[in-house]
Chains A and B, each alone.
Chain A
């Protein structure tokens, strides 16, 4: 299941959606809004998340299918919020399930690494009434490229 939403989500509810006695392992990645002070000493008040929804949904579906196939997952759910989010609020959730832990852990890391490097979301830092686009981090692309020997990503 892929969900792009303006609404907050509940971790227990998201877990119950994929909970099954067939599974022996679940892995979670939860990204939240960090109370951050930038290099220019500016303190952020929150973030705004923009998305090209049709494309992001297509991209996330492909990533999910790759992860399920590569690591024999029993399920993989991805929830990503859009709109204005305050400090500490949840941004993104990846849950993977499998028979054994190594598969769910690797798959969960792959999904979030791929999402951060490739999926059509853009963050803006909020400072009072102003917003500034967050710059792409090369380290996110480098982290994703480490998977190229393991997963056929094209």
Chain B
């Protein structure tokens, strides 16, 4: 299944892209997907270890990391906001 991950602020700058599409097996949880990404790309470890970053799934903050992803889901990685 295809999952889009959106990057913002310093994460977007660091990865030099605003979003990326990944393929995961059906019924993959957010936690499992995170671990797969960390193994694939070391830079994801810094992101997933950073407690200030919020993770959103289809515009809702992810509270349970065991949530199962679905084809077409959009995950966003959000550093602390600085607008206004």
Contact = CB atoms under 8 A, between A and B. Distances in A.
Given A55-B59, A58-B59, A135 B8 contact: no
A91 B81 contact: no
Interface string B1-33: 000001011101100000000000000000000
Give the interface size bracket for B toward A. 10 to 19
Contact of A136 (B8, B12, B13, B52): B52
Interface stretch (A12-20, A34-42, A66-74, A115-123): A115-123
B81 A122 contact: yes
Q: What secondary structure prevails in chain A residues at the interface with B?
A: mixed
A52 B83 contact: no
Interface string A89-119: 0011000000000000000000010011111
A120 B55 CA distance: 12
Name the residue among B59, B80, B81 with the largest chain A CB count within 10 angstroms: B81
A11 interface: no
B82 A136 contact: yes
B84 interface: yes
Interface of A: 31, 49-52, 54-56, 58, 80, 91-92, 112, 115-123, 131, 133-137, 140
